[in-house]
Amino acid sequence: MGASVDFIDGFLEQTQRLNKKVRSIISPNQYDYIF
């Protein structure tokens, strides 16, 4: 069970990092990187 939790945590971290990149590219002044 712990392995799947680690996988989910890693996936969420990757997703958040990608969201920050996308937001900074699209409109860097509108977002404060809440997520």
Identify the sign of the CA torsion 19, 23, 28, 31. negative
pLDDT, the chain, mean: 78
Could you give the 3-state DSSP secondary structure of residue 33? coil
Domain count, the chain: 1
- The CA R_g of the chain, rounded to the nearest whole Å, is 13
28 confidence band (pLDDT: 50, 70, 90): low
- Give the structural domain span for 30: 1-35
Whole-model pTM: value is: 0.51
Residue 35 pLDDT: 47
